[in-house]
Amino acid sequence: MAMFGSETRGEDMARAAEPGQSSGRLLRGIGRITIAIGVGVPLALALGFLWFVWHLPANEVTLTRNADGIVVLTGGASRISDAIELLAERRGQRLLISGANRSTTAAEISRLNPEFVRWVRCCVDFDRSLNTLGNAVEIRRWAERRGFRSLIVVTSHYHMPRAMAEIAHQLPGAMLVAFPVISERMRTEPWWASAATTKLLLSEYLKYIVAQLRIRLNPAHGAGEPS
Would you write out the chain's pLDDT as a tens digit for each of its 227 residues? 444 454 555 555 445 445 556 666 666 666 666 665 665 667 777 888 888 988 888 778 888 899 999 999 987 668 898 999 999 999 999 999 999 888 788 888 888 888 889 999 999 999 999 999 999 999 999 999 999 999 999 999 999 999 999 999 999 999 999 999 998 888 888 888 889 999 999 999 999 999 999 998 887 655 444 43
**What is the third-level CATH fold of 69-217?**
Rossmann fold (3.40.50)
State residue 76's pLDDT score: 66
Domain residue extents for the chain: 1-55, 69-217
Burial of 95 by CB count in 10 Å (0-12 exposed, 13-18 middle, 19+ buried)?
Answer: buried
The pLDDT value given to residue 107: 87
**pLDDT for res 227:** 36
SS3 string, 147-208, reads CCCEEEEEEECCCHHHHHHHHHHHCCCCEEEEEEECCHHHHHCCHHHCHHHHHHHHHHHHHH
Measure the CA–CA gap between 27 and 134, rounded to whole angstroms: 46
Helix (H, G, I), strand (E, B) or coil at 122: helix
pLDDT at residue 61, as a whole number: 84
- Quick check: pTM over 0.75? yes
What pLDDT does 77 receive?
60
How far is Cα 227 from Cα 223, in angstroms, rounded to an integer?
11
Close Cβ partners of 181 (under 8 Å, ≥ 6 residues apart): 60, 76, 78, 79, 82, 154, 155, 156, 157
